[in-house]
Chains A and B, each alone.
Chain A
Amino acid sequence: MANYYKDHPEIDFHLNHPLMRRIAELKERGYTEKDRYEEAPVDFEDCIENYRRLLEIAGDIAANTIAPNSEDVDLEGPHLENGRMKYASKTVENMEAVRLSGLWGVTMPRRYGGLNAPETIFSMCSEVISAADSSFQNIWSLQSCAETLYEFGSEEQRQKFIPRICAGETMSMDLTEPDAGSDLQSVMLKATWSEEQGCWLLNGVKRFITNGDSDIHLVLARSEEGTRDGRGLSMFIYDKRQGGVNVRHIEHKLGIHGSPTCELTYKDARAELCGERRLGLIKYVMALMNGARLGIGAQSVGLSQEACNEAVAYAAERAQFGQKINRFPGVYDMLSRMKAKLDASVYKALEDIQRERKLEPEERAEMKTYSRLADAFTPLCKGMASEYANQNAYDAISVHGGSGFIMEYKSQRLYRDARIFSIYEGTTQLQVVAAIRYITNGTYLNIINEMLGEEVLPELLPLKEKIAGCVGILSECITKVREAGDSEMQDFLARRLYDMTGEIVMSLLLMRDATVAPDMFLKSAKVFAAMACETVAGKSSYIMGFDKESLPAFRAVEETE
């Protein structure tokens, strides 16, 4: 029987990452819960086996329930009924299967009914589900909002809401408004304290809310009257059982049809404050977004995998000019790049290090290192993986030729579904903004230089030389941009620096993996490093040939002063 986890040994490879031992130990606090919970692991090996079993279950449901339902879900989509959103009927089937399998509250502590798995495992699970149907992954992975609720909510709120999430109730994060998209500081949804009712009341409109009719919402709202910026925003928990929020409209979208994108109206909706006032955007939403971005990273990887599988399978079957099309250089160039991009996007074991709170002091220091690493890598992971998913979906159609354009083939859905990945939870352009600081201040360069010092297979040495050369070129480009001292020019060229950095980092990560498991990754490492050299040559020639005087020629709007 097909299994989306077992059929892709690459996922298992990342489960064997040396850091997993440490992650598991921290997450299980030295395996102390075994006497209280029958499902808790007794040691590391037992723990890894639990993770494997968890992924097997996800892989089974993905392959045998969610994937077969995906076409119907895409065609039917959710609909609006008296102010309520109704999922596509096959989405309901998926929800039930996942609920019975217990894959809710995956990362939540056991005392609230969760599985206490680390973020890394959640991401792998996300990948597997996304490969089957990325629109369902949206709904499912919003359970990660519980992380924020757990971290910043009171103990009472944790006890009230988290067990419900672990039992299968869904979540949403209500951030965007008609006039507040990427710029969340201008959120206007109003929160007023009602002495009479002893709770906060929310009034206003939210738009583009994924899974907007969820059971438990985290809502960003303006609690400080008279303020206009991010410091007047707080985070609230709205419980659907309270009533007061209706769905006014469900968007018709290009892709991820199964994932309901709702416009919500709040009318005196009773809500509780989560955490402290005024920290809604500057602290809590940032945490929320980081989790969500990793989720999109995983979603992208899953879709890349499926696009790659579809293309490989078709190219192995389809014959033209008397031979299978996977023998033509133009086609295998695409296929090998797809696989290389896929393998490159899966470097999550590193950056997905769980940031666990309430640790011993020395552990906290360790976590600090990792969480800094995670902060730096998250924008790289989300941006690169989502762009690659798009490229892979595009190429999957190319490999299919005319058939790829026909609605009966899965490639067209993947192509439509992927398009949003590089937009929501921060567009690629915003990922570049988040990453550029780490590029220009040398954070990435330090990591890259450290990685250049690692041993690799002798076979990879010439490639590593080439990449080392690329690193030299990259740092020249960084120096040039920094020394120009022009912020507009830096912003203008940032994407190019980001792409160069991303491909260099991923080349090195792939070489690292190829050194441990050449059978799995050697080919991709070679293909990807060649691609990185191509990118670095092109982008660097653009940057080195650029001067700030030429900027006006690119501006969309002439300066008016």
Chain B
Amino acid sequence: MKLKIVVLAKQVPDTRNVGKDAMTAEGTVNRAALPAIFNPDDLLALEQALRLKEQNPGSSVGILTMGPPRAGEIIRQGLYRGADTGWLLTDRLFAGADTLATSYALATAIKKIGDVDLVIGGRQAIDGDTAQVGPQVAQKLGLNQVTYAEDIKVEEGVATVRRHIDGGAETVKVPLPALITVNGSAAPCRPQNTKLVMKYKRATCPMERPAEVPYASLYEERPYLTLNQWSVADVDGDPGQCGLAGSPTKVKSVMNIVFQAKECKHLTASDADIEGMVKELLDEKIIG
């Protein structure tokens, strides 16, 4: 069957290669010092979507992302790999969102997109690590949800999903429409495709473009070079539930924790000492 798939993707600072100036003096992430990348788990979600598209001819994959205009790059990254379209939610009113306001915005946009069979996102973003946005979107849209997915197949309106669980995997079935979040253990995302990069390299959202845009006439000739850019009003959103206004979470402070305890015990290699240690670990529920 033809599937209409939306991939939730986030542009995040690359926290995997953190340098000295990664944090500001106030304890927030210094986004300017870190390269902005496609959230790794979301790339895995994109790969699952693209595989489903290949297995179900006629399907389409769209990238939905929220962020400042430069997050248009996330849509391009999707197009370079085989996505068909994308939507950038960008508006000052969206800014400062916690997971609740983010999931509200995304859910509203998915409604606006309409007739979506499958929403796939990464399990969590490497900047916030909450893993809340996917499930919240499912909740708001009343969709079935499956988390920790490693592999997704769809047959006759039912998705069969292999989930990563402690010590193994379980396979579940879920009727569509559904929302699935993909685990870090899923297959890596495919590389960019050269022809698609050549085709879409100048695709931008209107707000990303400089005043003097190079190759201006191309945008008139090739509509696919203009990416969808949606404001709160475009998705019929309630400004009160968006961005800072819609975010009950307030970060009070962030602390660096350095483990300072230096307590240690010395054991000999005798059976008695080893037995004693095992017993102690069992008693304290560290093992067992």
Majority SS at the chain A contact face? helix
B188-230 contacts to A (CB < 8 Å) = 190-199, 201, 215, 218, 222, 224
Residues of A within 8 A of B198 (CB): 38-41, 50, 53-54, 115
Q: Determine which of A39, A60, A61, A103 lies in contact with B199 in the assembled complex, contact meaning CB atoms within 8 Å.
A: A39
**In the assembly, what is the distance between CA of A270 and CA of B222, in Å?**
46
In the complex, residue of chain A having the shortest beta-carbon distance to the beta carbon of B16: A1
**In the assembly, what is the distance between CA of A46 and CA of B217, in Å?**
14
Asked, given contacts A38-B222, A42-B215, A46-B215, whether A101 binds B192 with beta carbons under 8 Å apart, the answer is: yes
Is there contact, CB below 8 Å, between B191 and A101? Answer: yes
In the complex, residue of chain A having the shortest beta-carbon distance to the beta carbon of B201: A53
A51-74 contacts to B (CB < 8 Å) = 53-54, 57, 60-61, 65
Interface size for B (C-beta < 8 A) is: 15
**In the assembly, what is the distance between CA of A97 and CA of B196, in Å?**
15
Is there contact, CB below 8 Å, between B201 and A101? Answer: no
A276 at interface by CB-CB < 8 Å = no
Q: Determine which of B194, B199, B215, B218 lies in contact with A57 in the assembled complex, contact meaning CB atoms within 8 Å.
A: B194
In the complex, residue of chain B having the shortest beta-carbon distance to the beta carbon of A53: B197
In the complex, residue of chain A having the shortest beta-carbon distance to the beta carbon of B81: A100
In the complex, residue of chain B having the shortest beta-carbon distance to the beta carbon of A104: B194
Is there contact, CB below 8 Å, between A101 and B199? Answer: no
Asked, given contacts A46-B215, A49-B201, whether A100 binds B195 with beta carbons under 8 Å apart, the answer is: no
A518 at interface by CB-CB < 8 Å = no
Is there contact, CB below 8 Å, between B194 and A101? Answer: yes
Interface size for A (C-beta < 8 A) is: 20
**In the assembly, what is the distance between CA of A53 and CA of B76, in Å?**
13
In the complex, residue of chain B having the shortest beta-carbon distance to the beta carbon of A38: B199
Residues of A within 8 A of B194 (CB): 53-54, 57, 101-103, 115
B104-138 contacts to A (CB < 8 Å) = none
Is there contact, CB below 8 Å, between A57 and B190? Answer: no
Residues of A within 8 A of B218 (CB): 42
**In the assembly, what is the distance between CA of A97 and CA of B190, in Å?**
7
**In the assembly, what is the distance between CA of A283 and CA of B55, in Å?**
45
A149-194 contacts to B (CB < 8 Å) = none
Residues of B within 8 A of A54 (CB): 194, 197-198
In the complex, residue of chain A having the shortest beta-carbon distance to the beta carbon of B190: A100
With a 10 A CB-CB cut-off, give which of A38, A40, A49, A61 has the most chain B CB atoms: A38
In the complex, residue of chain A having the shortest beta-carbon distance to the beta carbon of B50: A100
**In the assembly, what is the distance between CA of A523 and CA of B88, in Å?**
49
Q: Mask for A22-41, Cβ within 8 A of B = 1, else 0?
A: 00000000000000001111
Asked, given contacts A46-B215, A50-B198, A53-B198, whether A61 binds B191 with beta carbons under 8 Å apart, the answer is: yes
**In the assembly, what is the distance between CA of A39 and CA of B215, in Å?**
15
Residues of B within 8 A of A46 (CB): 215
B24-53 contacts to A (CB < 8 Å) = none
Asked, given contacts A42-B215, A46-B215, A49-B201, whether A57 binds B192 with beta carbons under 8 Å apart, the answer is: yes
**In the assembly, what is the distance between CA of A115 and CA of B195, in Å?**
7
What's the nearest-Cβ distance from chain B to residue A325, in Å? 28
What's the nearest-Cβ distance from chain A to residue B227, in Å? 15
**In the assembly, what is the distance between CA of A46 and CA of B218, in Å?**
12
Residues of B within 8 A of A38 (CB): 198-199, 222, 224
Residues of B within 8 A of A53 (CB): 194, 197-198, 201
24 residue pairs of the A-B complex, CB under 8 angstroms, read A38-B224, A39-B196, A46-B215, A50-B198, A53-B194, A53-B198, A53-B201, A54-B194, A54-B197, A57-B192, A57-B194, A60-B191, A65-B191, A97-B190, A100-B190, A101-B191, A101-B193, A101-B194, A102-B193, A102-B194, A102-B195, A115-B194, A115-B195, A115-B198
Q: Which 6 pairs of residues, A with B, have the shortest CB-CB distance?
A: A39-B198, A102-B194, A101-B191, A100-B190, A38-B199, A102-B193
